[in-house]
Amino acid sequence: MLEGAKSIGAGAATIASAGAAVGIGNVLSSSIHSVARNPSLAKQSFGYAILGFALTEAIASFAPMMAFLISFVFRSQKEMYV
């Protein structure tokens, strides 16, 4: 029972990867729109785009970390004392 719940939890934690992909797409789309509207601010908006990419990728790196924690670190009381 616990192993099944751990698998479901680890799978749910990796769903954040899809959210990160959507977030990166939104950052890139907004960057392209802002440069198209005002090309003179391309360098400044590029810095903001890189910051957006970095923050979105940070969330994407937390997802597998949580999946590994759920799968391998958290154990039931029975497993700890056997």
pLDDT tens by residue, 26-74:
999 999 999 999 999 999 999 999 998 898 888 888 888 888 888 787 7
Q: What is the DSSP string of the chain?
A: -HHHHHHHHHHHHTTHHHHHHHHHHHHHHHHHHHHHH-GGGHHHHHHHHHHHHHHHHHHHHHHHHHHHIIIII---HHHHT-
pLDDT tens by residue, 5-16:
778 878 887 787
The pTM for the full model equals: 0.67
Asked: is 1-73 a CATH 1.10.3720.10 domain? The reply is no
